[in-house]
Amino acid sequence: MSDVRTRFAPSPTGYMHIGNLRTGLYAYLLAKKNNGKFILRIEDTDQERLVEGAVDVIYNVLKLTGLKHDEGPDIGGDYGPYVQSQRKSIYKEYAEKLVDLGGAYYCFCSKEQIAEARGKHGLTKEGAFKYDDPCRYVSIDEARKRIENGEAYVVRQRIPKTGATAFEDAVFGSITVDNNTLDENVLLKSDGLPTYNFANVVDDHLMNISHVMRGVEYLSSTPKYNLLYNAFGWEIPTYIHLPHIIKEGGKKLSKREGDASFEDFYKKGYLIEAIINYIALLGWNPGTDQEIFSLKELEEQFGIDGLSKSSAMFDVKKLNWMNSEYIKKMDIADFHKMALPYYEKVITNKNIDLLKISALMHTRTDVFNNIPENIDFFDSLPDYDINMYVHKKMKTDLENSLEYLKASYDALKDLSDWTEEGIDNALKALIEKLGVKNGQVLWPVRTAISGKQMTPGGAIEIADILGKEETLKRMQMGIKKLS
């Protein structure tokens, strides 16, 4: 198996989790770096957890992110079908083979029998109990007669009672597990569908997958997969187990806890390139100080040797910073086009020049979704507390704010050149005349015309966008508030 063939095998159980997307991204990058093939496989054997429309979500995310697969359910390939529920007969055939090879056996025990045995041990939790299955000692001939007679059954993996199974992982190194600690899990369920443990081994072999990339939670199950490979006499792929992505407090990101999906971030106005760039660095280090990567650069530089054993911390602040760097690099026309729907949420005043707002917001935006709360004051002045005029650093208090706001109003009311330059010149002349610091005049003006503590841009830029009439009206309101 010399050619590099990686696979992304999501389950259609809802949205695309960030950790899941990272697995797909790394599998894609590894294939591209080595001129290999990236395969999409849909693992839908857990029928109870399937969510309608989830397969479309998978296709949509791959399309948006540019992770183009070379084979898959939608484009075909030499190793299909690429949907597990369509491979039912294949799993049955290999389960029968495995029984003949001694790597599995037929089990006729009911759930009630297993629950009763669990109860005798005083155990109720799943996984805390190792079932000593009496069916393991039933001959193949006898078992097959019972099956012919219509008896319900599953196929279980036969684990050696003694010895150990060792394997190599590209990230975690050599790992050895005692066989007597491994459960004899079900491989083929009573409905004829396989469990993940069986299907992924059969499919990875039949699809010639060279590198298996998945979450670290599967590390403990890998000896069981290797026992299957060995029983069939198949070549074992290279394993690459990826550490968890955690959030503050050390908890791992989880679908069940509603942690953000790729689509959540995309809808909030994060750029796809920034999301992919950020996810790539959650567990992979390029070995340099470079942090901003295009997908093409990632394809060229990605390598297994840069993967970390440690959990990666998901830091929204870092993602916001990275997104802002990508926004700054955008052409202003492209930025304006993307920002327009966010402007329209809060600005109804047709006299506001939205292009001027784009000039203001382009280098001050980290996430598009944050735009409305930063610019809503352009449409209407919010009610604000007069204590906002007090700024110790600017040496402004209520008394001198009133004085300087009145003086600024007088300096601007007859101004004919209502442009940024004209407003700037008028207020600078006033500051020089009063012999005060810039902030002592500009702070009260900005407060009066925005009604906000923080704004994109200063008094001059805001006054230019608002226009003369609206600016003077708001300044008068500010004077009235302060009087």
- 479 pLDDT band (50/70/90 cuts)? very high
Q: Which residues are annotated as a binding site?
A: 255
For residue 359, give every residue at least 6 positions away whose Cβ sits within 8 Å of its Cβ, in sequence order, or none: 332
Claim: this prediction has a pTM higher than 0.95: no
- Asked if 234 and 208 count as a contact pair (C-beta separation under 8 A), the reply is no
- 1 pLDDT band (50/70/90 cuts)? very low
- Asked if 135 and 107 count as a contact pair (C-beta separation under 8 A), the reply is yes
C-alpha 366/C-alpha 260 separation (Å) is 18
pLDDT tens digits for 102-118? 999 999 999 888 888 77
pLDDT of residue 48: 83
Question: Residue 122 pLDDT more than 80?
Answer: no
String of DSSP letters for 134-172: GGGGS-HHHHHHHHHTT---EEEE---SSSEEEEEETTT
Question: Residue 255 pLDDT more than 80?
Answer: no
pLDDT tens digits for 343-391? 999 999 999 999 999 999 999 999 999 999 999 999 999 999 999 999 8
- 126 pLDDT band (50/70/90 cuts)? low
pLDDT tens digits for 300-316? 999 999 999 999 999 99
**Phi-psi category of residue 95: left, alpha or beta, with phi > 0 → left and psi -120 to 50 → alpha:** alpha
- 278 pLDDT band (50/70/90 cuts)? very high
Look at residues 360, 364, 389 and name the one whose alpha carbon lies nearest to residue 451: 389
| Assigned CATH topology for domain 386-482 | Arc Repressor Mutant, subunit A (1.10.10)
Q: Catalytic site residue 255?
A: yes
For residue 465, give every residue at least 6 positions away whose Cβ sits within 8 Å of its Cβ, in sequence order, or none: 352, 353, 356, 357, 360, 378
Report the relative pairing of strands 154-157 and 186-188 from DSSP bridges. antiparallel
- Average per-residue pLDDT in the chain? 94
- φ/ψ (deg, to 5) at 241: -95, 130
pLDDT tens digits for 323-348? 999 999 999 999 999 999 999 999 99
The HSE-up count of residue 420 (CA atoms within 13 Å, CB side) is 8
State in Å, rounded, how far the first CA of the chain is from the last one: 83
Q: Which two tokens stand for residue 296?
A: 């093409």
Q: Starting at the edge strand that comes first in sequence, how are the strands of the sheet with 104-107 ordered?
A: 104-107, 154-157, 186-188
Q: Which residues are annotated as a binding site for ATP?
A: 255
Question: Residue 41 pLDDT more than 50?
Answer: yes
Helical (H) or strand (E) element with 23: helix 18-33
- Asked if 64 and 31 count as a contact pair (C-beta separation under 8 A), the reply is no
pLDDT of residue 393: 86
pLDDT tens digits for 389-435? 998 888 888 999 999 999 999 999 999 999 999 999 999 999 999 99
Q: Where are the alpha helices (DSSP H) in 237-369?
A: 262-267, 272-280, 295-301, 316-329, 332-346, 354-361
Handedness of CA 221, 11, 295, 342 (dihedral sign): negative
Quickly count: other Cβ atoms within 10 Å of residue 433's Cβ.
10
- Asked if 456 and 360 count as a contact pair (C-beta separation under 8 A), the reply is yes
- 232 pLDDT band (50/70/90 cuts)? very high
pLDDT tens digits for 135-163? 999 999 999 999 999 999 999 999 999 99
Look at residues 194, 127, 126 and name the one whose alpha carbon lies nearest to residue 157: 194
For residue 307, give every residue at least 6 positions away whose Cβ sits within 8 Å of its Cβ, in sequence order, or none: 26, 170, 171, 240, 242, 283, 284
Catalytic-labelled residue, pool 255, 356, 406, 473: 255
C-alpha pair distances (Å), 178 with each of 113, 221, 390? 27, 12, 70
Tell me the mean pLDDT in the region 163-172.
Answer: 96
Residue 14 vs residue 84, higher pLDDT: 84
C-alpha pair distances (Å), 109 with each of 114, 132, 156, 346? 7, 11, 11, 64
Domain positions in the chain: 330-378, 386-482
What percent of the chain stands above pLDDT 70?
A: 96
pLDDT of residue 64: 96
